[in-house]
Chain A
Amino acid sequence: MNTSLILLILAFVGLVGYFAGGRHAMALVGGLSSKLHSRPGYYGSFVAIWAIVPAVVILFVWLVASPIYISSSIRGAFPEDVKAQSEAEQGLAYGMISSIARGMNALTNEEIERIGSNPVDLRAALATKGVPLAGDPKPYMVKAAGDLNVMTDISRITMTIVVLAASLAGAFLAYRQIAPRFRARNRVEKAILVSLVVASSIAILTTVGIVLSMLTEATHFFTHIPAWEFFFGTVWDPRFAAAGSGGSEGQFGLIPLLLGTLYIGFVAMLFAVPIGLFSAIYMSEYASPKVRSVAKPLLEVLAGIPTIVYGFFALTTVGPFLRDLSSQLNGLVTGNYSNFIQAQSVLTAGFVMGIMLIPYVSSLSDDIITAVPRALRDGSLGLGATRSETIKKVVLPAALPGIVGALLMTASRAVGETMIVVLAAGVAARMQINPFEPMTTVTVKIVNQLTGDLEFTSPQTLVAFALGITLFVITLCLNIYALYIVRKYREQYE
């Protein structure tokens, strides 16, 4: 029986259990639901949960465990000469066996009889059924494939029986427990609580998993390249061509990338902070509710634009515009019409990223400014301060810690931004301070290092993980510090 059919049956058992449980509970008290501890629905849910949850857990565990068990027992039965081969070749052999097994299921019994143990015929026959094999199967493989099929079938039948039995037994036991004073509501709510906990731990565990995997890969990288060369190196020259050839391994200096990241982020904040902050002040203090209700969502649309769109906006519009503008300016002043701003430059990337960040700055600051209690504004206005004085001297100072927090959060976005810089800033890892020249960032280099076709064990690709974990630590610190500031600020008004 296939898995989805089993699940369907479980759902059906659960449904039946739900109604039966409810009815049973009502019957016990003669239809007077006020005599029950919980509403009848809770008794039904209690039965349904017991019918479904344990069975599904068993099903899941079985589905994960049985292929592992089967594979290890098949491999255990490999002939000695195969066992002597490397792990990778044994893996290939097992892959072939499972292909054969899959193919044999598609053949009729007579066909199998006819082919017997002639490996060449078998390959041809399987090919007609749409199961290609990488090479001619060896006789032991055909036998193992047969074993595999038998074991799989047995496993599947036992699983079906066990799971369905568990479901019925769960439903039956739960049904038996129902009594007028039985606290079904508390039990059901506990089950819901558990499911909520499971859901939130999945998110947390995933984060932990990602960090751990980055850490392990980064450690691999640091076995090739010393950590201090990476963190304090000033030259980025990964030498793709030399990868795998031994000898010269290239230089992986973080500093130029980090400087590029911070520089571009700085330029972006230079554009985003004043514009975002001013628009937040306008929205929260001056705009009438009508204007606000239209303008604020419009501004937030900016936040919904995918960054790749900003990227080609930078590439096709802003970059060439700045380049042409600079050549015109240069021409007007010196008569020499050569451009001093490159199409791909720190300025282009910073400018476009700044536009992307405006809604973050304005929306976060707007929330914080609005959270300043009205009483403070009234106090200031009541003393004869103008609106602008009130904002400058009372509202903004009160909101300042929160705004700083918001800006730090925005900065961490700027540091982690990828698509805009990939398209707008160029890929040249250079250390320089001219904003009109291209520079590159950590994220761009991660993309570069991973989009080649290099093997995953070379430092050229592993460096991406070291870069990733560095970036992660930077943004994490920024965010934690920002949260700390914002939280501290909140306490002020409580």
Chain B
Amino acid sequence: MNMMSEAAVEKALDQKMSEVSYKMIGKDVSVYYGEKRALFDVNLNVRENTVTALIGPSGCGKSTFLRTLNRMNDTIENCRVTGKITLDTDDIYDANIDVVELRARVGMVFQKPNPFPKSIYENISYGPRIHGLARNKADMDQIVEASLQRAGLWTEVKDRLHESGTGLSGGQQQRLCIARAVAVSPEVILMDEPCSALDPIATAKVEELIHELRANYTIVIVTHSMQQAARVSQRTAMFHLGNLVEENDTDKMFTNPDDQRTQDYIMGRFG
């Protein structure tokens, strides 16, 4: 209990310091898969340097919303997005926006660790290389090391950078994927249930990592675990049947939510 209150104090302080500055603003976002509507006019703002957790029962649209934030839905056939999403001041669905550039600014970590079947080094250097972030080999080495450091993987893999990334354990693979996303220096990192394929120890490591990353990045995370949302996030948004039910400070959300449905879901009455 003591720990909790300490964390609460810390969060309250954070809140005051950063005032409220929004990194991404979603206005009336709706998503259709063919005829089927998956999201209904969602208005959700993502605060800068904050971990925002998206929770809700399966099929509620939280992953769909997450994927609209870096237009990964574009890769799905028949998917249509309406409404407006801005990153800083840019409308990311504007025709002038280069989706490639957008995804460099809004990185993504997926549910299942998906390292490329290449060496650890090449996994990390992949993004910087396609975006031309390194001037020479030394630069690249530096980016790789820094990214692995940030993902807390450096000490574990520094002696085998040229071994295959697929040979790592599940938890290491996921942290490799986070390092890979970090290497492009994104502003926002989207995480789609990043721990659902990991064991509790690996999960704890990734959560710790998310906590540290918050200093430099804005993070949006989809999770099925209530505890995880409570542990890692400062803001929580609850989705249900394609609607945004409630968005609030995580503490308030888990102690005294405004909406009955949130309460029911958190108490485990449905979902």
* Chain A interface (Cβ < 8 Å from any Cβ of B): 288-289, 373, 375-386, 389, 393-394, 397-398, 492
Partner of A381, one of B72, B101, B181, B184: B72
In this complex, what residue of B is CB-closest to A395?
B116
Question: Contact at B181–A382, with CB atoms within 8 Å?
Answer: yes
A350–B115 Cα distance when bound, in Å, is 41
Question: Contact at B116–A394, with CB atoms within 8 Å?
Answer: yes
Is B75 in contact with chain A by the CB < 8 A criterion?
yes
* Listed residue (A289, A377, A394) with the most chain B CB atoms within 10 angstroms of its CB: A394
Can you name 18 A-B residue pairings with CB atoms under 8 Å? A376-B114, A377-B75, A378-B75, A378-B110, A379-B116, A379-B177, A381-B72, A383-B107, A383-B108, A383-B126, A383-B127, A383-B181, A384-B104, A384-B131, A385-B126, A385-B127, A389-B130, A492-B117
Question: Contact at B77–A288, with CB atoms within 8 Å?
Answer: yes
- A289-B77, A383-B103 given; name 9 further pairs at CB < 8 Å: A379-B177, A384-B131, A385-B130, A386-B130, A393-B126, A393-B130, A394-B116, A397-B116, A397-B118
Partner of B180, one of A383, A389, A398: A383
In this complex, what residue of B is CB-closest to A383?
B127
Question: Contact at B166–A382, with CB atoms within 8 Å?
Answer: no
Chain B residues with Cβ under 8 A from A289's Cβ? Answer: 77
Partner of A379, one of B104, B105, B114: B114
Question: Contact at A384–B112, with CB atoms within 8 Å?
Answer: no
Is B97 in contact with chain A by the CB < 8 A criterion?
no
**Shortest Cβ gap from B42 to chain A (Å):** 21
Question: Contact at A381–B116, with CB atoms within 8 Å?
Answer: no
A375–B116 Cα distance when bound, in Å, is 9
Partner of A384, one of B75, B114, B130: B130
A376–B184 Cα distance when bound, in Å, is 17
Is B70 in contact with chain A by the CB < 8 A criterion?
yes
Question: Contact at A378–B131, with CB atoms within 8 Å?
Answer: no
Partner of A398, one of B75, B109, B116, B131: B116
Chain B residues with Cβ under 8 A from A398's Cβ? Answer: 116-117
A371–B181 Cα distance when bound, in Å, is 24
Is B7 in contact with chain A by the CB < 8 A criterion?
no
Question: Contact at A492–B75, with CB atoms within 8 Å?
Answer: no
Chain A residues with Cβ under 8 A from B107's Cβ? Answer: 382-384
Chain A residues with Cβ under 8 A from B70's Cβ? Answer: 382
**Shortest Cβ gap from A397 to chain B (Å):** 7
Question: Contact at B108–A385, with CB atoms within 8 Å?
Answer: no
Is B100 in contact with chain A by the CB < 8 A criterion?
yes
A302–B70 Cα distance when bound, in Å, is 42
Contact with A along B53-85 (1 / 0, CB 8 A): 000000000000000001010010100000000
Partner of B103, one of A373, A382, A393, A492: A382
Question: Contact at B110–A375, with CB atoms within 8 Å?
Answer: yes
Question: Contact at A375–B126, with CB atoms within 8 Å?
Answer: no
Partner of B100, one of A377, A384, A394: A384
**Shortest Cβ gap from B193 to chain A (Å):** 13
Question: Contact at B184–A383, with CB atoms within 8 Å?
Answer: yes
Question: Contact at A384–B184, with CB atoms within 8 Å?
Answer: yes
In this complex, what residue of B is CB-closest to A379?
B114
**Shortest Cβ gap from A391 to chain B (Å):** 12
A439–B131 Cα distance when bound, in Å, is 51
CB within 8 Å of A: which B119-143 residues: 126-127, 130-131
* Listed residue (A288, A379, A381, A385) with the most chain B CB atoms within 10 angstroms of its CB: A379
A397–B131 Cα distance when bound, in Å, is 20
**Shortest Cβ gap from B228 to chain A (Å):** 21
In this complex, what residue of B is CB-closest to A399?
B117
In this complex, what residue of A is CB-closest to B129?
A393
**Shortest Cβ gap from B177 to chain A (Å):** 7
**Shortest Cβ gap from A217 to chain B (Å):** 47
A382–B103 Cα distance when bound, in Å, is 6
In this complex, what residue of A is CB-closest to B190?
A382
Partner of B72, one of A378, A386, A393, A492: A378
In this complex, what residue of B is CB-closest to A489?
B117
**Shortest Cβ gap from B122 to chain A (Å):** 9
A285–B114 Cα distance when bound, in Å, is 19
In this complex, what residue of B is CB-closest to A385?
B130
In this complex, what residue of B is CB-closest to A394?
B116
**Shortest Cβ gap from B105 to chain A (Å):** 8
In this complex, what residue of A is CB-closest to B115?
A379
Question: Contact at A382–B77, with CB atoms within 8 Å?
Answer: no
**Shortest Cβ gap from A380 to chain B (Å):** 7
In this complex, what residue of B is CB-closest to A290?
B77
Question: Contact at B130–A492, with CB atoms within 8 Å?
Answer: no
In this complex, what residue of A is CB-closest to B166?
A492
A393–B102 Cα distance when bound, in Å, is 20
A384–B127 Cα distance when bound, in Å, is 7
A383–B124 Cα distance when bound, in Å, is 10
Chain B residues with Cβ under 8 A from A381's Cβ? Answer: 72, 75, 103
Chain A residues with Cβ under 8 A from B103's Cβ? Answer: 381-384
A379–B118 Cα distance when bound, in Å, is 13
Chain A residues with Cβ under 8 A from B181's Cβ? Answer: 382-383
**Shortest Cβ gap from B118 to chain A (Å):** 7
Question: Contact at A380–B126, with CB atoms within 8 Å?
Answer: yes
**Shortest Cβ gap from A10 to chain B (Å):** 57
A381–B106 Cα distance when bound, in Å, is 11
Chain A residues with Cβ under 8 A from B72's Cβ? Answer: 378, 381-382
Chain A residues with Cβ under 8 A from B180's Cβ? Answer: 379, 383
A375–B110 Cα distance when bound, in Å, is 8
In this complex, what residue of A is CB-closest to B116?
A394
Chain A residues with Cβ under 8 A from B105's Cβ? Answer: 384
